[in-house]
Amino acid sequence: MFETLTKGFRTAKQKFQGLAELDEATVDDALKEVRTALLEADVGFDVVQDFCKRVREKAVGVIVKVRASSKEKVRRVSPEDHFVKLCHDELVELMGPVDSSLKYAKKGGLRAQHVLDRLDELGGRDAILTTDVGQHQMWAAQFCRTTKNRHWLSSGGAGTMGYGFPAAIGAQFANPKKAVWAIVGDGGFQMTMAELATAAIHKLPVKVLIINNSYLGMVRQWQELFFDNRLSGVDLEGNPDFVKLAGAYGIKAWRVKRPAEVDRVLKAAMDWNEGPCVVEAEVIKEDNVFPMIPAGAALRDMIIDRPKHKMEKPTGST
Ligand SMILES: Cc1ncc(C[n+]2csc(CCOP(=O)(O)OP(=O)(O)O)c2C)c(N)n1
Ligand SMILES: [Mg+2]
């Protein structure tokens, strides 16, 4: 296992040496070798590439990035310490200093990533978090870094939209003193939003964060990437006004539209102790989640950034 991994790194490194002259296809090829090596070696840490940008910048040899947390993880996975150190050194040599791989544009409107990043920072990391299914779920998984047991309730696999809010109500009943946040999509929330009544009647302090992108976002992303952006049945232009909806149940609600308002609104929701509350984040409509793996594809086929070429149609569904 160790040999496979280091061989993968070494091969890639040799290939990367003359990076300035390499085209993207060759770099892609070399990266596939690293990914394969990692998979075959069955190593439990994340490696994310940021190669397109680097290639454009012609930065030689800085290719593979590890999540910021991985450095710690790498250290922690003893007892195979010598191997871990070897991997770490190899990676550092390839990468330069480790930095966070999950980035998002800070300009051009409110992004779900920003809202979830701030939720994590302002107290979400200690809260019980639940999610629906879709883009917001992926972003929540990326940016909300809870490490506590039983603090992450999410409907994975054949995930079910509408799961997040009722799951949060259950979690809140079971843990009356804990902060519980339901992170839901504007599509998924509409499947179980009648439970606002349950939350109101029982004065549950559950907090709902609606990531409103006015789309069945995950399906829209697939239609964009794999079906020539021929959108069908994904526009949620008939959405209700979620703040008014909450108001109709007698529930406190805020709407946030600008990045500068996020902290203030999230803090206000965190401080709200008179029963449930709702935060509607009106985010940009057409953002995509990366990295992603097309259905039916393998981990090594992971898409890191917006593909420049036409993608093959996936063999499975969302
Ligand atoms: C009950 C149910 N119906 C359909 C799907 C397929 N599906 C997965 S994600 C998704 C879109 C979710 O939209 P939204 O809740 O707005 O979340 P977003 O992706 O926009 O964050 C759909 C339709 C599903 N997972 N569950
Ligand atoms: Mg949506």
Q: Name the DSSP class of 78.
A: T
- pLDDT-based confidence at 68, cuts 50/70/90? very low
Looking at the structure, tell me whether residues 42 and 144 fall in a common domain.
Answer: no
Q: Which domain holds residue 293?
A: 112-301
* Confidence (pTM): 0.75
- pLDDT-based confidence at 54, cuts 50/70/90? very low
Q: Assess whether pLDDT exceeds 50 at residue 268.
A: yes
Report, as an integer, the average pLDDT of 210-229.
Answer: 95
pLDDT digits over 76-107, tens only?
A: 332 233 444 445 555 555 544 434 457 888 88
Q: Nearest to residue 172, comparing CAs of 164, 184, 180?
A: 180
- Residue 309: its pLDDT value, please? 77
Ligand 1 binding pocket includes 192 (Cβ within 6 Å): no
Q: Is 106 inside any structural domain?
A: no
pLDDT digits over 229-245, tens only?
A: 999 999 999 999 999 99
Going along the chain, which residue ranges are E strands? 47-49, 64-66, 128-131, 152-153, 180-185, 207-212, 252-256, 277-282
Q: Is 311 inside any structural domain?
A: no
Looking at the structure, tell me whether residues 70 and 120 fall in a common domain.
Answer: no
Q: Could you tell me which residue, 122 or 59, shows the higher pLDDT?
A: 122
Q: Do β-strands 64-66 and 47-49 pair in parallel, antiparallel, or remain unpaired?
A: antiparallel
Q: Assess whether pLDDT exceeds 80 at residue 192.
A: yes
Distance 301 CA to ligand 1 centre (A): 23
Looking at the structure, tell me whether residues 125 and 263 fall in a common domain.
Answer: yes
- Which of 138, 209, 216, 235 is the pocket-test mutation for ligand 1 (most atoms within 8 Å of CB)? 216
Which atom of ligand 1 is nearest the CA belonging to 188? Answer: 15
Report, as an integer, the average pLDDT of 201-223.
Answer: 97
Q: Assess whether pLDDT exceeds 80 at residue 66.
A: no
Contact 227, 247 (CB under 8 A): no
Domain count, the chain: 2
Looking at the structure, tell me whether residues 175 and 290 fall in a common domain.
Answer: yes
- Which of 218, 225, 234 is the pocket-test mutation for ligand 1 (most atoms within 8 Å of CB)? 218
